[in-house]
Structure 1
Amino acid sequence: MKKWGAAMLALIALSATAEDIVIGQSVALSGPTADIGRDMRDGALAVFARANASNALGRPIQLITLDNANDRKRATENTQLLLDKHKALALFGYSSATASLDALPLVGKQHMLFFAPFSGAMDIRNHPSVYTVRASYQDEAAKIIASKREVGAVKSVVLYYDDEVGRSNHDAVVAAFASAGLAKPQGVAIKRGAPLDRAGVTALLKDAPHYVFVTTQHPPVADYLRISNEIGNNVPVAALSFVNPDELAEGVGGAARGTVVAQVMPSPTAASHASRPVVKECADALRALNGAALNYTSLESCIAAKALVVALKKAGPKVTRESLLSTMGTLGHVDLNGFTLNYAGGNRHGSNWVDLAILSRGNRFVH
């Protein structure tokens, strides 16, 4: 992937004018999840660049992306800057529930849109300013549980972060087990940002689970797979969609074989192009922007940006923070050429579509 330097980011941030439609974003552009943040930024930039080239809105869209380094305090500071200094019309594509939580009271006070956070956490989905393009973590968990149950795997242990968002994600998974009529799984909590060590892996495996259900980001998954492989106790992993499957395949290799990752977007590979033309559109737009190959993260951001352009068109040339939020509630069914979102009847969550990918031979995720 082509990585944009600080000078380019500064140019993007400083180029907005009073005539521009400013969209604010806070993601990790540094630290262990920086690849996800860059993909979230670039997938949207690819769409906005094409919209600007065609003068689709009569005014240019400017995406201002600030680095939160996966730190909640910095994310909050970024939100204040985006609202007060950059006068963002809407906030878009925040990198996680942790980065989003403290923004919600601020957007609520402004009666403005908080669109397409990269999270299925219930803690943020219940806020009236939040509209999403992806399924919830409980939707993902239900799909994983049903798939595992088909092969007789019903006993699990949940790995989660020991903080507000992590416990909420743990509870979503537990609720999905209860809905399936299965016993409550045991849980093992780790500190956000801390590595998973051998003691943590031992705790996960002590009751002989059929699989480890992971609700964390990619690094603890890689730690678990490496250590469990070293000790010869390869209990498989099933993970929520926040784990980047491409990063997992590249970073862990053969030790990750058999890992299941829930997906809330269609496959970004060429095989999806015929049935879902939006995938090819996003792949072409991203390639034109920076030469990068499309992946799940940049595809999600691309689809979200396309939906936002639809809302901006409907809101009209005199769009305000409040009118854009109101417009989102009137979009109804949005067909993005192969991926459909539904905001009809007061629904703020555009999709509950979930698929599962499994790492097979040759370090490839297949469906």
Structure 2
Amino acid sequence: MIRWPQAAAALVAATALLAPLAHAQLLIGQTAGFTGPVAAGVQETTDGAKLYFDAVNAKGGVGGQKVELVSLDDKFDPKLSAENARQLIEDRKVLALFLTRGTPHTEAIIPLLNQYNVPLVGPSTGAMVLHKPARKHIFNVRATYQREAEKAITHLASLGITRIAVVLADDSFGADGLTGAQRGLERAQLKAVLEERFDRSKPDFAPITAKVVQTNAQAVLMIASGVAVVDGYAAFRAAGSTAQIVTLSNNASTGFAKSLGANGRGVIVTQVFPNERSINFPMVREAQELAKARGQEVSPAMLEGFAAAKVMVEGLRRAGPKPTRESIDAALDGLQKFDLGGLEISYSPTDHSGLDFADLSIIGTDGKFRR
């Protein structure tokens, strides 16, 4: 027979044992520009990721532990990206980094990934330098910028457009996209009428605008962040240019479309995920249903975050009952033919490229992306 004091003591002891499990969390770290020129896109990709993480947590998390995303603002500054990553890895002891934004920003944290054997899942950049050769700790989800830029040029050429200008940020992101654009031009047997770089931190579009008008460019591919594209496009229009504006999927956010204002209609934006209204893709349908329950509307940028979160959670699930940085890395390295919901992704020690999906969209009069 158990006396009440003994039973109470046993209950307290059992509760104490269970408490760590009930409150256990799988910490995932993110550094990205929540303020600054890419804030709109960063917020939307993060919202998409949280949409999936919250759904997983509502069902008990992963192995009974909730996934917690710790996000730090790096203001789109590569130096701050590296410092944030250091804090997340050394101080917060995150299991993995996730959904970083920007090419030079992601490059800045690679030494930390290698030093601490920390996996990075779903960097929101299509930089080829992160794809080939395969980076041991980086698991890409989205397609490359080179693939997008090449597809954009091919599309313009198919429309009979021959006078194409390329305007790009003078950094590793711009150079990467330019390589894809040049490949597309070569295949179309064309040469750019203009290739102009600008300082990412202090863009001056006045001299570039004069050259765009002088060359009578029919289309301008802008490889830059959202704010720069908005400012450049406004400058071109104010100078009388009627060139078709094309930009890459780093600007595939509702916030970018809104920031264009009246200039938005007709702007072409490449995409690396299916149409956010294509419910024939199970992943899109799943995201739509979860977003609807919250009173949200899915954007292309949200889909990117949603897909990256699915890969992150799958890595955690396959990493064992007590995931470590090393076990997550190994689990993802062996991920084969994982169905995101109509899109299949695989990794191996020599291939961390992720998806190769690329498409085009155009912004309609309602500010939404049309395919």
- The two structures have a TM-score, normalised by structure 1, of 0.87
1:323 partnered with 2:301:
no
Partner of 2:73: 67
CA drift at 1:225: 2.3
**Residues 279 and 233 from structure 1, CA distance in 2 versus in 1: closer, same or farther, beyond 3 angstroms?**
same
- Return 21-30 or 181-190, whichever deviates more: 181-190
Asked if 1 retains the 8 angstrom alpha-carbon contact of 2:139 and 2:352, the reply is yes
CA offsets, 1:275-305, max 9 Å, x none?
01211322333455x6432211111101110
Q: Which has the larger radius of gyration?
A: 2
CA RMSD of aligned residues (A): 2.3
Q: Distance in 1 between matches of 2:270 and 2:365?
A: 18
Partner of 2:46: 41
Of 264, 268, 272, the residue aligned with 2:272 is 264
1:4-43 alignment runs, 5 A limit: 19-43=24-48
1:241 partnered with 2:249:
yes
Partner of 1:121: 127
CA offsets, 1:115-134, max 9 Å, x none?
11111111222322211111
Residue ranges of structure 1 left out of the alignment (5+ in a row): 1-16
Of 288, 297, 300, the residue aligned with 1:296 is 300
Asked if 2 retains the 8 angstrom alpha-carbon contact of 1:160 and 1:189, the reply is yes
CA offsets, 1:109-159, max 9 Å, x none?
222211111111112223222111111011111211221111111332211
Letter in 2 for 1:49: D
CA drift at 1:197: 3.0
Asked if 2 retains the 8 angstrom alpha-carbon contact of 1:23 and 1:92, the reply is yes
CA drift at 1:345: 7.9
Of 287, 290, 314, the residue aligned with 1:285 is 290
- Return 166-175 or 27-36, whichever deviates more: 166-175
Asked if 1 retains the 8 angstrom alpha-carbon contact of 2:315 and 2:328, the reply is yes
Q: Distance in 2 between matches of 1:66 and 1:286?
A: 24
Partner of 1:104: 110
Q: Distance in 2 between matches of 1:287 and 1:200?
A: 43
**How many aligned residue pairs are there?**
348
**Residues 19 and 296 from structure 1, CA distance in 2 versus in 1: closer, same or farther, beyond 3 angstroms?**
same
1:330-349 alignment runs, 5 A limit: 330-343=334-347, 346-349=350-353
Letter in 2 for 1:109: Q
SS of 1:308's equivalent? helix
CA drift at 1:50: 1.6
CA drift at 1:85: 0.5
Asked if 2 retains the 8 angstrom alpha-carbon contact of 1:22 and 1:90, the reply is yes
- The two structures have a TM-score, normalised by structure 2, of 0.87
CA offsets, 1:13-60, max 9 Å, x none?
xxxx99321111011122232222222222212211221221241211
Letter in 2 for 1:265: F
1:109-258 alignment runs, 5 A limit: 109-126=115-132, 127-183=135-191, 186-258=194-266
SS of 1:120's equivalent? coil
Letter in 1 for 2:297: A
**Residues 133 and 125 from structure 1, CA distance in 2 versus in 1: closer, same or farther, beyond 3 angstroms?**
same
Asked if 2 retains the 8 angstrom alpha-carbon contact of 1:123 and 1:165, the reply is no
**Residues 64 and 149 from structure 1, CA distance in 2 versus in 1: closer, same or farther, beyond 3 angstroms?**
same
Q: Distance in 2 between matches of 1:177 and 1:335?
A: 34
Q: Distance in 1 between matches of 2:122 and 2:253?
A: 20
Partner of 2:356: 352
Letter in 1 for 2:36: G
CA drift at 1:184: 5.2
Partner of 1:9: none
Asked if 2 retains the 8 angstrom alpha-carbon contact of 1:158 and 1:186, the reply is yes
- Return 19-28 or 163-172, whichever deviates more: 163-172
**Residues 86 and 286 from structure 1, CA distance in 2 versus in 1: closer, same or farther, beyond 3 angstroms?**
farther
Q: Distance in 2 between matches of 1:243 and 1:366?
A: 14
Letter in 2 for 1:267: N
**Residues 257 and 180 from structure 1, CA distance in 2 versus in 1: closer, same or farther, beyond 3 angstroms?**
same
Residue ranges of structure 2 left out of the alignment (5+ in a row): 1-21
CA drift at 1:344: 5.6
CA offsets, 1:252-284, max 9 Å, x none?
233233221100011223xx12x0121132233
Q: Distance in 1 between matches of 2:342 and 2:324?
A: 30
Asked if 2 retains the 8 angstrom alpha-carbon contact of 1:28 and 1:36, the reply is no
Aligned-residue identity in percent = 27
